[in-house]
Homo-oligomer: A and B are copies of this chain.
Amino acid sequence: MNTLTHFRLCPKSRSIRLALAEIGVETELAEERPWEWRETFLALNPAGELPVLALEGGLILCGAYAISEHFASLLQDREKEGRPAPLFPGRIEQRAEQRRLVDWFHGKLDREVTRELLYERVYGHLTPYRSHGPDPDALRAIRANLRYHLGYVNHLAHERRWLAGDDMSFADMAAAGHLSSIDYLGEIPWEEYPSAKSWYARMKSRPAFRALLADRMPGISPAPVYANLDF
């Protein structure tokens, strides 16, 4: 059996859980608290980062980039046979746009919003080294950054059917990985971003999304609308 080492609210882990469910790769989940730097985890991925996918055959794929591109290679042949659900569908121009956006979400959005927000509101809370609560100045800056990113997602969703074009791609899964994690914390004013909201409602209603909506963090309740398909 394949095993995905993940953390419930880790946005990159979530993007890969969506991708594996969309392409039909069955996987067991093993949860890791990456801030504990456990030796067995570092032996699996010396970078100490999530997600990590251990394939049945023995191959270990470390990080969302290596995992997504591994399956992209395998699926490219499948696409030629007319089978569904590639991660980077279409022609080379479309794949460049999809990858530009994956980089936006897993790079820029992660750095400017999700990573910092999770540190302030979740990881910090769970780390024994930190006794004080979230820093209000940091939260203010993160929320301002979040609005800029929501505006951009709204713009993309307004112009296109899916974020990178006519077809759903790993760019949508990367965005949804981050936004679902931020939404769990009740930080997204959806009503101000109607096109982003309607895109996210479509993502949420996919069978691949169900497991994410069932996630609960001990000690941190999700926002009331988190698991609601009609939010």
Query: Does the CB pair B108–A66 fall under 8 Å?
Result: no
Query: Does the CB pair B102–A65 fall under 8 Å?
Result: yes
Rounded to whole Å, the gap between the CB of A13 and the closest CB of chain B is: 14
Chain A: interface residue total (CB-CB under 8 A) = 27
Query: Does the CB pair B104–A47 fall under 8 Å?
Result: yes
- In the complex, A206 has a CB within 8 A of chain B: no
- Out of B69, B96, B111, B152, name the residue touching A66 (CB < 8 Å): B96
Query: Does the CB pair A103–B65 fall under 8 Å?
Result: yes
Query: Does the CB pair A108–B47 fall under 8 Å?
Result: yes
Closest to A102 in B: B65
Interface code A90-105, partner B: CB below 8 Å = 1, 0 otherwise? 0011011001101110
Q: Which of A55-63, A125-133, A187-195, A213-221 contacts B (4 or more CB under 8 A)?
A: A55-63
Measured CA separation A49–B95 after assembly (Å): 19
Decide yes or no: A70 and B46 within 8 Å by CB, A62-B100, A103-B63 being known contacts.
Answer: no
- In the complex, A73 has a CB within 8 A of chain B: yes
Query: Does the CB pair B63–A100 fall under 8 Å?
Result: yes
- Out of B66, B92, B99, name the residue touching A65 (CB < 8 Å): B99
In the complex, chain A residues 60-81 whose Cβ is within 8 Å of any chain B Cβ: 60-63, 65-66, 69-70, 73-74
